[in-house]
Structure 1
Amino acid sequence: MEWKIELVVLPVTDVDRAKEFYTRVGFHADFDESPSAEVRFVQLTPPGSGCSIAVGKGITDAAPGSVQGMLMVVPSAEQAYQQLVAAGVEATPVKDEGWGLFTYFADPDGNKWSVQQLPARG
């Protein structure tokens, strides 16, 4: 039996601001629905990813900005860094951590992301 992680909820204070941020970074806006006045669900997916994020209203009790350690893998950390900076995101310059090249950024609420270029294998 396969078990797949396909969605991670990120707590945010402003759903529209979060949606704008993640689409500006390059995530695809897959879904945005409000089945009731108390609930809004927005699903966003990074290009090429099998896992999406969700932001919204009434979908988590976690504190906005409390998520740390979200990690995306990319072919080029430098290209990811340049794309983030071009999108107006404060990202750290690429750093060799010994187990890959990394750049780091946070969304407007402070949810923290790592972007990793895996080391060459062989």
Structure 2
Amino acid sequence: MRWTLEVVVVPVSDVERAKAFYADRLGFHVDHDTQAGSVRFAQLTPPGSGCSIVIGMGSMAPGSLQGLQLVVNDIRAAHAELVARGVEVGEVQYASREGGFRPATDDDDLNNSGFLFFSDPDGNGWAVQQITARP
């Protein structure tokens, strides 16, 4: 049997504002935007991903989700794209083998060790990791 993770719920305080951030700033595809009585939620999918997010108001406090992670094959290009889209994003970081992060240099091998971090308008925390090859 195959088990796949296909949806992660991201708690937000304003669905319209969050939808604009994820669709317009991050480039996620809007799968649907649904109003069910007084509840509104939207499902969006990152380009090339098999897993979507659902934004809406629910049992978790807006901004309480931390550690969501996207994977790209070029962290510097991802950083440049996010900056061009107006996302407030930290600089590219290198995860050292000794622990912790430091600013990345041109000499760093960023495969599996290159990261950047940002938050959505509610404070939900995201990481982006570079993975160019998997074992």
Q: Tell me the TM-score normalised to structure 1 length.
A: 0.91
Alpha-carbon distance in structure 1 between the residues aligned to 2:47 and 2:133: 22
Using the alignment, how far apart are the partners of 2:82 and 2:10 within structure 1? Answer: 19
Please give the secondary structure, in 1, of the residue aligned with 2:11.
Answer: coil
Kept after mapping to 1: 8 A contact 2:73/2:132:
no
* Structure 2 residue aligned with 1:80: 78
What is aligned with 1:31? 32
For the aligned residues, what is the CA RMSD? 1.4
Greater Rg by CA: 2
Matches within 5 A, 1:1-122: 1-24=1-24, 25-37=26-38, 39-57=39-57, 60-98=58-96, 99-118=112-131, 120=133
* CA deviation after TM superposition for structure 1 residue 72, in Å: 0.6
- 2:32 aligned partner, one-letter code: F
Task: Give the whole-Å Cα distance in 2 for the aligned partners of 1:87 and 1:64.
Answer: 23
Supply the AA of the counterpart residue of 1:28: H
Q: CA deviation at 1:120?
A: 4.9
Deviations 1:49-71 (A, max 9, x none): 000000124xx210000000000
Aligned to 2:102: none
CA distance in 2 between partners of 1:44 and 1:83 (Å): 19
Tell me the percent identity. Answer: 53
Letter in 1 for 2:87: V
The number of aligned residues is: 119
For 1:121 and 1:19, the matched residues in 2 are separated by 32
Letter in 2 for 1:34: Q
Using the alignment, how far apart are the partners of 2:27 and 2:59 within structure 1?
27
Structure 1 counterpart SS, 2:18: helix
Whole-Å separation in 2 of the counterparts to 1:23 and 1:120: 28
- Give CA-to-partner distance per residue, 1:76-110, whole Å, 9 cap, x none: 11111111111111111111114420011000000
Structure 2's unaligned 5+ residue stretches are 97-111
Runs of 5+ in structure 1 lacking a partner?
Answer: none
